[in-house]
């Protein structure tokens, strides 16, 4: 079977505009149920799978997302490549609100999440190389698509994955900046490593929706996040349409 692209939509992208849905798959996995039925359909004439990470409507907090079921279900439906859309906070000076980022590295600060498919009664111990967590060919696809639609995108940066659902303290963000993080989000792990375990090519497209704690003026407000999210997601949708065309082109 030929390669199939899956898109995981995060906060602000619980639906994929333009997707002509042919089937909603209610997949049962060894790890339970995914966040929502996986939608199969056509986007600009190409077969695409779409999954709302937080459910539809948006109801599952980041620490309770069943990441294992989500990724396993996509693979079970013959996905080979996954583009994950995420909303993040900006840490370093060039990571301003409303900018788009295609990260290249990730640091995991989460805890207590089911973060591997390799557990239980196993015939052998399995380790996966995670030196470079994002698939470079898929990263380049996103960058090329963004350039084609004239949407500025930051190439690179380190994503710091925190537990949530609360936002971080200013001291935590200061520590993360010292660690080398450029943006902060709550869903990058274990999603990224599970894709690697399942041999799925994976890349992320992140929308910066606010300055991280201590990096802006005053406290972070939901109104600010929502305004930046709406603007960013419109640009993300343009990139995704072009990325799908290039993936199957």
Q: How confident is the model at residue 230 (pLDDT cuts 50, 70, 90)?
A: confident
According to the annotation, is 92 in a ligand binding site?
A: no
Least confident of 91-105, 154-168, 172-186, 222-236: 222-236
> Is the pLDDT score of 28 beyond 70?
yes
Cα angle for residues 241, 83, 110 (degrees, 5° grid): 145
User: Which residue shows structure tokens 């989500």?
Assistant: 70
pLDDT band at 1 (very low <50, low <70, confident <90, very high): low
Q: What pLDDT score does 148 carry?
A: 97
pLDDT reading at 231 higher than 90: no
pLDDT at 177: 98
Q: What percent of the chain has pLDDT over 70?
A: 100
Q: For residue 115, is pLDDT > 80? A: yes
CA 45 remoteness from chain centre: 24
Percent of the chain with pLDDT over 90: 80
Tokens of 17: 């505009």
Q: Does 4 carry a binding-site annotation?
A: no
Helix (H, G, I), strand (E, B) or coil at 72: helix
pLDDT above 80: residue 123: no
Question: Which of 114, 53, 40 lies closest to 83 in space, CA to CA?
Answer: 53
- The answer on whether 212 is annotated among ligand-binding residues is yes
- pLDDT of 217 > 90? The answer is no
Question: Is 155 among the annotated ligand-binding positions?
Answer: no
**Residue 54 annotated as binding?**
yes
Q: Name the pairing type of β-strands 81-90 and 105-108.
A: unpaired
Output the average pLDDT for the chain: 94
* Residue 86 annotated as binding site: yes
| Residue 121: predicted pLDDT | 79
Is 210 marked as binding a ligand? yes
Please work out, in degrees rounded to the nearest 5, the angle formed at the alpha carbon of residue 123 by the alpha carbons of 117 and 124.
Answer: 75
Is 186 annotated as ligand-binding?
yes
Q: Consult the annotation and say whether 20 binds a ligand.
A: no
**pLDDT at position 195, please?**
98
CB 108 within 8 A of CB 189: yes
* Domains, in order of start, for the chain: 5-248 (3.40.50.1580)
Q: Tell whether residue 68 is among the known ligand binding residues.
A: no
Q: Is 164 helix (H, G, I), strand (E, B) or coil?
A: coil
Q: What is the pTM of this model?
A: 0.94
Model pLDDT for residues 51-99, shown as the tens digit of each residue: 999 998 889 999 999 999 999 999 999 999 999 999 999 999 999 999 9
Q: What is the rounded distance in angstroms from the CA atom of residue 152 to the CA atom of residue 157?
A: 15
């Amino acid at each position: 079977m030929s390669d199939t692209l899956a898109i995981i939509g995060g906060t602000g992208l619980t639906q994929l505009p333009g997707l002509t849905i042919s089937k909603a798959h209610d997949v049962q996995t060894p790890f339970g149920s995914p966040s929502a039925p996986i939608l199969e359909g056509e986007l600009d004439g190409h077969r695409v799978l779409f999954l709302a990470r937080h459910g539809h409507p948006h109801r599952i907090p980041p620490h309770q997302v069943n990441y294992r079921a989500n990724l396993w279900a996509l693979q079970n439906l013959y996905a080979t490549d996954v583009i994950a859309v995420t909303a993040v906070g900006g840490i370093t000076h060039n990571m301003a609100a409303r900018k788009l980022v295609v990260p290249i590295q990730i640091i995991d600060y989460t805890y207590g999440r089911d973060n591997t498919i390799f557990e239980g009664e196993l015939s052998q111990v399995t380790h996966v190389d995670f030196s470079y967590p994002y698939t470079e060919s898929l990263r380049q696809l996103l960058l090329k698509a963004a350039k084609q639609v004239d949407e500025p995108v930051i190439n690179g940066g380190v994503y710091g994955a925190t537990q949530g659902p609360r936002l971080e303290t200013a001291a935590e963000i200061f520590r993360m900046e010292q660690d080398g993080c450029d943006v902060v989000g709550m869903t990058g792990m274990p999603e990224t490593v599970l894709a690697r375990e399942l041999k799925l090519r994976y890349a992320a497209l992140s929308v910066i929706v606010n300055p991280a704690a201590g990096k802006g003026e005053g406290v972070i407000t939901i109104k600010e996040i929502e305004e930046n999210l709406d603007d960013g997601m419109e640009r993300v949708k343009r990139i995704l349409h072009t990325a799908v065309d290039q993936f199957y082109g």
